[in-house]
Amino acid sequence: MKKVIVGMSTCGLSAGSQKTYDRLGELLAANPGAFELKSAGCIGMCYREPLVEIRENDTRIVYGAVTPELAEKIFNEHVGGGRVLEEHVALRIEPGRELGGSEAPHQKNQVRIVLRNCGLIDPESLAEYEAAGGYRALRKALLEMKPDEIVKVVKDSGLRGRGGAGFPTGLKWSFAAAQKSDVKYVVCNADEGDPGAFMDRSVLEGDPHSVIEGMIVCGKAIGAHAGYVYCRAEYPMAIRRLTIALEAAREKGHLGTNILGSGFDFDIKIKQGAGAFVCGEETALFQSIEGKRGMPRIRPPFPAEKGLWQKPTNNNNVETYANVPWILMNGAAAYAAYGTEKSRGTKVFALAGKVKNGGLAEVPMGIPINDLVFKIGGGIKEGRAFKAVQMGGPSGGCIPASLGHTPVDFESIPATGAIMGSGGMVVMDDQTCMVEMARFFLDFTQNESCGKCTFCRVGTLRMLEILTRITQGEGRIEDIENLKTLGAQIKDASLCGLGQTAPNPVLTTIKYFGEEYEAHIKDKRCPAASCTALVDFCIDAETCTGCTVCAKNCPVNAITGERKKTHVIDTSICAKCGKCITVCTFGAVYKK
Amino acid sequence: MENVKIKINGREIEAAPDKTILEVVREHELDAIPTLCYSQELEPYASCFLCVVEVKGRANLVPACATRVAPGMEVTTRNDRIIESRRTALELLVSNHYADCISPCMEGCPAHVDAQGYIALSAMGLYRQAVDLIRETNPLPAICGRVCVRKCEVVCRRADVDKPVGINAIKRFVTDQPGVYDGTPACEPPTGKTIAIVGAGPAGLTAAWFLGRQGHKPVMYEAMARSGGMLRYGIPVYRLPDEVIDREVEYICRAGGEIRYNVRVGHDVALDELMKKYDAVFLGPGAWAGNPMKVEGEFDTDGVVQGADFLPEQAEKPTPLKGTVVVVGGGNSAMDVARTSWRLGADKVIILYRRTKDEMPADRMEIEDCLAEGIEIMELAAPVGILKDNGKLKALRCIRMKLGEPDGSGRRRPIPLEGSEFDLPCHMAVSAIGQATRLEGLTKSPDAAIGLTKWNTFVIDPETLTTNVRGVFAGGDAADDGPTVIIDAIADGQRAARAIDAYVKGSGRRPRPFIVKKEFWAKPGKAELGEVKESPRHEVHQISVEARRGSFAEVATGFEFEDNTHECNRCLSCGCLRYDTCYLRIYAEEYGIDMNRFKGHVRKHKVDDRHPHVVYDPNKCILCSRCIRTCARVLPISALGLVGRGFRTEMRPALNDPLVETSCVSCGNCVDSCPTGALTVKYPFPGRASLETDDEPTHCAYCSLACSVTVKKFGDGRYYIAPSGIPGDYLCRYGRFGNELFIKRKRITAPEIRRGSEIQTGDLCEAQQLIVFGMKRVASKYGAGKVGVFVSPELTNEELYLASRIAREGLGTSNIASLSILGTGTEAGALDESLGFTASTADRSCVDGADLIICNNTAMESDHLILAIRVIQAVRAGAKLIVSNSTLDPTDQILSTLAMDPMRGRAAILWNGVIQVLLDEGYFSTAAVKKIAGAANFLKSRDFKLDTVAALSGVDASAIGKAAALIKGARRIVIIHSPDRVQDQAPGDMETLANLVVLLRAAGAGAELVLPRMNANSAALEIMGADPAFGPGRTPNPEGVVGARSREELRALLASGGIKGALIIGEDPLAWGQTGSWFQNVEFIAAMDWTDTETTRYADVVLPGSTYLETAGTRCNFEGALVEYSKTVEPPSGSSGDEVLRGLAREFGLTTIDDTTAEIETIVRKKLGDLARFYWNTGEERFAPAAKRLVPTGAVAHTGSIHPPLTHGERYKREIREVGTGRFRVRR
């Protein structure tokens, strides 16, 4: 029987997959036994959601942008008639054949280790996870391996923390394992807070058991019996699926006392975060779990020594744990075969911004940024010019298109002034103002600073004030130097990663796009024509048809012109609201 | 752990591995690292980032306060990068510090006179201190108090509400008070340097004052016959009487200055000569020439005179006038000339002014006084010619003016109206349109001429007042921008003295004082002031206009007392109370920060002053969290926390409630932790300012913990209490704020004697004699066994000792005790059998190392917060806590492992049950137990069955089992029990706990019994002889002494109404029904107290007592340590309690009472041993005899405790709780 699988992660649901699913449900009700209806997590092609897969034997045909109407058509023609609607096929996966479908060129360069099950299995079904090879690593770790052997495999795999800092995971585990304490903790950081990043959410929504399995293995490796998943409350679906997965695992005996008869006890609790970005910083995260205000403290002592409730703690992020079962089953060498010498394995990226194919991509470490943007991301929307990528969210930095050849790994990216980060990659085109972009991220970090350190609390605001001033055309010559000095001082004298990296977007944009700052300050001009205070709205005489729509819609009556003749905007009246651009159907209004 | 070797600034240092870089640097005094968030008694926090240092190999700077040393570490504590980072941190902090370091009035005054400070002192009634404070910046307070132009009032924030505070009138008021000109000002030792001062006017006098106080010898050369310069010769005496100037000058000269009159420098003595003879010269000759009207004939017409000549002449020798006088000008001098002319008899006085009244530079008040005195002001007219008759003035030809565009001064320019000339007939015309200098002979020096401006004034450096000639300084009207006002001359004199002092000593410039003011961002509006009620401004009183005609009597008579109080209360106290001790300001000054660098958005908050004791100004908070962390250390539930994120982060009380509505216990420790002025205490009297205090250490006498305190005194009777300043020393609300009742409550300041139905104040000696007579009369009537002496357990050892001897030797009775202790039923000597003495077995430090703490009948947090802090710390470090109490403080609820609530009076049963369980389980091995005397008996008669105990005590058997299990699991146990607390008192409870201690020790566990007492000196009552059984030093009653032989007997005697005469010291038994009934049949009561009570109201004779701050002496704290108390505050009656009692003893015929100290020393040494502690010194451990052991049967009912007669401690405690929050509530 054919299986019809609907992508029901947050990305799918926001694209309307619930309606599609419901329509299919109605069809199934009307035609009992016609097919099997299932849901799955995100397969990564968020830009083509809602996705509907028709699976028969080993052949999987994934349709993109499936509306309820299209769903009905697919049911009628493909499910019922066996006729594939080729024009709607996003992906065709058949054993022994090359990847097909419209998205094949973007998908074929990916290597799916973390996302191995995402979009393929029903995340709410333990059976499907197990059918896909799940919990075999746990069995192996608990029944066949000693803790130090587990640590060794993880060390040998070269896996580095996927939260951003890239600390070798095996080494971290060995520190916690070396601590002598009755009580230790395994913490999973699922407080994914970077704007534009959704890797962890997708894993938790699409394959929660892989994270649970990784955590239990870690517990065995370091000698912990309790784990916490610290997940932001803004991820209700992730929390729901994780909760279901935990219950199922507990019921099956994968969690709790004497797991798989090994004599090893381990259980996991979920702690919901209340939306403070800084709680992604591990010491603040521990405080938050303890019920206190999430504020970082100085390290050392490191968590391996004194972490949660002053006990030895191992903290990794979602993606890191999700890698662990695969490594245990496939061996350290298999994992290490991917990536570069110092950055092994794969990395999941969330492509966002002006890129055509926004979504998740898992690629081997070391591929060039250009490949991510063009080969996988499909290039820039509307065919505009690629300007830069912002990596690592507000803590990260900006890498210009001229450095597009930079390999994505833990050595090359920091060399540019940016950071690897957790995998958020915001792509910018030539219409993005880099000063405004830096201002946006700094505004975010300023609002999310915990307020503890002077430099982070007050310094970031002062930088923000300077940037705001620049974007409003009130910049002063000395501002760039002031931003650099203050930025360096903030990095220098802040307690945690938030403050230490907050100036990065500003410093890297000054480094690579200094002339754009100067244009704002000296020429009172925004080269990207983005900063409202510095642009004028104009009507192109060639394109304008004199349809009068713009003049009618202008709230301040700044547009004049006779019917069928070129219209003109009086810039002294214009309030720069942008309404004219929106309403002009000929694209005659532009900013300069 | 082994020490680590590190390098700091290139120096090899060996340090303990758990030390932070900051600690090591401080310990070895390697550098002064600044920090705001670090506190020695708190865990490292690292938020302010001032303490950053460089560690080799680390990319970032690290906070020294939180970075622990590691082997091989190389640290640099100071270089450009570090200093820049620290400076930036300070600039960022200050960029969001919307506050006034000093008040606008102080800032606005050219001489920076601390107006807020002297207003505060004046409000406190400390006039001498107020005047001395003014003299720190201005030695002419009485003069300024009369004639200053009051730049301070112009900027007064009060103007936003109604009108400025009458600052100047307050100044005059304080200088008018008696005694403020007494004595000699404090001066530095003589330096041998001499300074010549040209002119004894305001600038010269001021310079002389400060130079004299700095130890130099100033010599003023005065051209006139009298001192004061323009003060005397330019201001008429009806405004500034000569006596005021004389008084001021005389006081200034007491600082070492000398005036040589009638010597004109440049004429009688050359400037060169002064320069040779003196170490420095200050030129303050003033501006004595008038400006001409620029009208033809003004210099050769009889009747046309210069104001600058007229006023000095009239000051020398007043000459009567007649006819019409026209005064040209609109300044204060013009007003002075006009009003003087009017007083001298002129028929008509006209002031001619070319603009209108609104543009007049004269004081509003002066103009109004002119008008009141009938002087005409002719506006918009100016003289253009003189009409004369025989060389004698006939009329002034004038022209009308109109006002044009504003000129450089901002006032509208007068423009003559052509053809509007008119003649103004007059007999005299005085030109009063400004003054000019006459500097003949003052501009030449041997090397060079002294530089002059185009206005013929000296060119000076505005900061140091130096001229172009080395060693010559100039100021006042003759320098820089020419004639100004007195306060500018004073400011010049002050700055010149500072510069001259530096010059003659060869020292460098001091850093510019750093201050923040709200105006840096924007002028604050009314909204920021919060709730300020409008209150009309009081003006100085004046004599009537009728009384002024023909008289030069002073017009303004100043303020009455009520006016002063009223105006002082109108002061908004804008300046920061922590000006001198604010570390943000101090570091900002040290690092020379630039406020403009990060000028931007600033957060503005209202000040929260709703708490009865603490004021929180969030504008000044730098988010170091020291208060939050201190609060969390003191309380298990923090009353303070952080809210918001980013720049909007704020320190706020829990859930953003007002502090007064949180779990705050008003201990005030947050205030001490604040490095800025964000948290300050309210003084218990009016006035708020940053003022110097005299600090005296003593101890608190609110409970038996006897914490060290510092009495911070502003002056007579005005003080507040702060902790000792030793890191880790905290105070509770009683220790810190309890003294407020001494100020707020009515005091007994003189003996009171009842005569018939009337109470009269009397003489101390008479009152003492009446007491002797009264008591002896009753004793002879009923026998000495029917009189008694009752003493408060708060009294000093000295007072208790004297009372004991008065009872035994003066009255022949052994009836002496504390009614409080009789009332609470605390069994004196209850542990004598068990422990050897009835007291704590260890000092408070035993709590620190405990692994199990048992609190029985102890409201730790409410009654002994400072001990509770130790318990909280111990529990946080891992100790278990068992609580047995009917009410649970938050501490108990949150921290206890086991909380039990035995039925009232059954605690002994409960603990005997626990002992039983431990015996049954074999924890106390029989062999060990048997070693202890009395054990066999105990073992034989034990019948504490678990279910019986559970039923009788009301505590579940499982809880009893759990208590036993916890005890078994512990190695170091501390039992805390409050003997005086009645709520959960039970017969035999202390003995049972003592038995437990003895058994635990026998079983090899460490165990201590700590007995915190409610009253300061409860522990010393017996040893000082305040007990029927023993005299001082636990000596037996002497032969012939009759009365009760034990406290039980005395209580029975009291209960039967057997006491007929009573001397009650510091207790108030009549306030309570039961104890009150004991005194129903009494025929004579004498009482002694510091405040009026029910008892003093009924007493036949009342002696004035004193508070613990007013009596020097010793007390024994709950640990048995002898604690010294000093007399830090003068008793209002003039005598301390011990002095009064000594006098009484003398009246009773006692001798050898003069040196009680030695006697008490002997008693204490003998009994307390070398360590001055009297616990656990028998070396023998015994059980209480079987007879004293309480066997639980259902029939044994608790005898109940009566309400204690209030000692003061408890009375204040209640009242302080009422004024504080008194909530102690827990949020669930």
pLDDT tens string A226-242: 999 999 999 999 999 99
Q: Give pLDDT tens digits for A369-403.
A: 999 999 999 999 999 999 999 998 888 899 999 99
Mark yes or no for CB contact B646/A295 under 8 Å: no
Give the residue among B1120, B853, B890, B1154 at the shortest CA–CA distance from B977. Answer: B853
Q: What pLDDT score does B1019 carry?
A: 84
Residue B195 has pLDDT above 90, yes or no: yes
Phi, psi (deg, nearest 5) at residue B222: -115, 125
Residue B1169 has pLDDT above 70, yes or no: no
Q: What pLDDT score does B1187 carry?
A: 46
A149-163, A369-383, B19-33, B914-928: which has the minimum mean pLDDT? B914-928
Mean pLDDT of chain B, nearest integer: 88
Name chain B contacts of A298, Cβ cutoff 8 Å.
44, 46, 63, 66-67
Q: What pLDDT score does B826 carry?
A: 63
Q: Is A547 touching B (CB cutoff 8 A)?
A: no
Mark yes or no for CB contact B61/A500 under 8 Å: no
Overall fold of domain A536-591: Alpha-Beta Plaits (3.30.70)
**How much of chain B exceeds pLDDT 70, in percent?**
93
Name chain A contacts of B676, Cβ cutoff 8 Å.
none
Mark yes or no for CB contact A449/B52 under 8 Å: no
Name chain B contacts of A493, Cβ cutoff 8 Å.
49, 52, 60-61, 63, 85, 89
Planar angle of CA B555, B556, B560, nearest 5 degrees? 140
Query: Tokens 């449900």 belong to which residue?
Result: A25
Residue B1189 has pLDDT above 50, yes or no: no
Planar angle of CA B668, B673, B679, nearest 5 degrees? 60
Mark yes or no for CB contact A451/B623 under 8 Å: yes
Q: For chains A and B, count residue pairs whose Cβ atoms are closer than 8 Å.
A: 99
Q: Is B410 helix (H, G, I), strand (E, B) or coil?
A: coil
Q: Is A287 touching B (CB cutoff 8 A)?
A: no
Name chain A contacts of B92, Cβ cutoff 8 Å.
454-455, 458-459, 462
pTM: 0.90
Mark yes or no for CB contact B645/A452 under 8 Å: no
Mark yes or no for CB contact A459/B52 under 8 Å: no
Mutation site, A305, A462, A464, A478, interface B, largest B CB count within 10 A? A462
Q: Is A196 helix (H, G, I), strand (E, B) or coil?
A: coil
Residue A185 has pLDDT above 90, yes or no: yes
Cα atoms in the Cβ-side hemisphere of radius 13 Å centred on B885:
25
**How much of chain A exceeds pLDDT 90, in percent?**
81
Residue B813 has pLDDT above 90, yes or no: yes
Q: What pLDDT score does B690 carry?
A: 93
Q: What is the DSSP string of B670-684?
A: HHHH-SSSSEEEPPS
Name chain A contacts of B584, Cβ cutoff 8 Å.
none
Q: What pLDDT score does A209 carry?
A: 97
State yes or no: cis peptide before A50, omega within 30 of 0.
yes
CA distance B1039 to A37: 109
CA distance B832 to B789: 25
Per-residue pLDDT averaged across A88-115, rounded?
90
Mutation site, B521, B597, B598, interface A, largest A CB count within 10 A? B598
Mark yes or no for CB contact A298/B642 under 8 Å: no
Q: Is A446 touching B (CB cutoff 8 A)?
A: yes
Query: Minimal Cα–Cα distance from B42 to chain A, Å?
Result: 14
A245-259, B26-40, B1171-1185: which has the minimum mean pLDDT? B1171-1185
Better-predicted residue by pLDDT, B937 or A365: A365
Name chain A contacts of B625, Cβ cutoff 8 Å.
452
Under DSSP, the state recorded for B30 is -
Mark yes or no for CB contact B89/A491 under 8 Å: no
Per-residue pLDDT band for A265 (boundaries 50, 70, 90) equals very high
Q: Give pLDDT tens digits for B148-181.
A: 999 999 999 999 999 999 999 999 999 999 999 9
Instruction: Read off the tokens for B972.
Output: 């170091």
Q: Residues B970, B852: contact at Cβ < 8 Å?
A: yes
Domain covering A434-522 in this structure, CATH number: 1.20.1440.230
Give me the residue from A297, A458, A494 closest to B95, CB to CB.
Answer: A458
Contacts 24+ apart (CB under 8 A), B248-254: B248/B139, B248/B140, B248/B141, B248/B142, B248/B143, B248/B205, B249/B200, B249/B205, B250/B181, B251/B139, B251/B181, B251/B185, B252/B139, B252/B205, B252/B208, B252/B209, B252/B212, B253/B208, B253/B212, B254/B184, B254/B185
Mark yes or no for CB contact A493/B67 under 8 Å: no
Mark yes or no for CB contact B49/A461 under 8 Å: no
Query: Minimal Cα–Cα distance from B311 to chain A, Å?
Result: 58
Mutation site, A292, A457, A465, interface B, largest B CB count within 10 A? A457
Residue A39 has pLDDT above 60, yes or no: yes
Q: What is the interface pTM, i.e. ipTM, of the complex? A: 0.91
Q: Is A285 touching B (CB cutoff 8 A)?
A: no
Query: Tokens 């504080």 belong to which residue?
Result: B1220
Per-residue pLDDT band for B933 (boundaries 50, 70, 90) equals low
- The helix, strand and coil proportions of chain B, stated in percent and rounded to the nearest 5, come to 35, 20, 45
For residue B760, what is the enclosing H or E element? strand B758-761
Residue A11 has pLDDT above 50, yes or no: yes
Instruction: Read off the tokens for A281.
Output: 């910083």
Query: Minimal Cα–Cα distance from B24 to chain A, Å?
Result: 18
Per-residue pLDDT band for B68 (boundaries 50, 70, 90) equals very high
Mark yes or no for CB contact A298/B67 under 8 Å: yes
Q: What pLDDT score does B1217 carry?
A: 67
Residue B1172 has pLDDT above 50, yes or no: no
Mutation site, A293, A454, A466, A482, interface B, largest B CB count within 10 A? A454
CA distance B1129 to B1142: 20
Top-level CATH class of A346-429? alpha beta
Query: Minimal Cα–Cα distance from A195 to chain B, Å?
Result: 17
Per-residue pLDDT band for B1179 (boundaries 50, 70, 90) equals very low
Q: Give pLDDT tens digits for B291-348.
A: 888 888 888 888 898 888 899 998 888 889 889 999 999 998 999 999 999 999 999 9
Mean pLDDT of chain A, nearest integer: 93
Sign of CA dihedral B668, B672, B676, B677: positive
- The residue type of B790 is F
CA distance B374 to B370: 7
Q: What pLDDT score does B1174 carry?
A: 41
Give me the residue from B63, B68, B93 closest to A458, CB to CB.
Answer: B93
List B449's β-bridge partners, or say none: B444
Name chain B contacts of A297, Cβ cutoff 8 Å.
45-46
Query: Tokens 């009934």 belong to which residue?
Result: B1077
Instruction: Read off the tokens for B1139.
Output: 């002095």
Which chain B residue has its CA at the smallest distance from A451's CA? B646
Query: Minimal Cα–Cα distance from A504 to chain B, Å?
Result: 15
Give the residue among A419, A224, A223, A239 at the shortest CA–CA distance from A318. Answer: A239
List B615's β-bridge partners, or say none: B680
Mark yes or no for CB contact B47/A494 under 8 Å: no
Taking the domains of chain A in order of start, what are their residue ranges?
3-103, 126-334, 346-429, 434-522, 536-591
Q: Is A182 touching B (CB cutoff 8 A)?
A: no
A587-591, B781-785, B1069-1073: which has the minimum mean pLDDT? B1069-1073
Q: Tell me the residues of B at the A interface, defined by beta carbons under 8 Å apart.
A: 44-50, 52, 60-61, 63, 66-68, 81, 84-85, 88-89, 92-93, 95-96, 598, 600-601, 622-623, 625, 641-642, 644-649
Top-level CATH class of A126-334? alpha beta
Spatial neighbors of B61 by CB under 8 A, at least 6 apart, are A492, A493, B52, B53, B54, B81, B82, B85
Name chain B contacts of A453, Cβ cutoff 8 Å.
46-47, 49
Better-predicted residue by pLDDT, B1186 or B811: B811
Per-residue pLDDT band for B493 (boundaries 50, 70, 90) equals very high
Q: Is A500 touching B (CB cutoff 8 A)?
A: yes
Mark yes or no for CB contact B600/A465 under 8 Å: yes
Instruction: Say whether domain A3-103 belongs to CATH 3.30.1050.10.
Output: no
Name chain A contacts of B96, Cβ cutoff 8 Å.
458
Give the residue among B224, B197, B193 at the shortest CA–CA distance from B208. Answer: B197
Q: Give pLDDT tens digits for B626-655.
A: 999 999 888 777 889 999 999 999 999 877
Spatial neighbors of A26 by CB under 8 A, at least 6 apart, are none
Give the residue among B1095, B1145, B465 at the shortest CA–CA distance from B798. Answer: B1145
Residue B828 has pLDDT above 80, yes or no: no
Residue B1201 has pLDDT above 70, yes or no: no
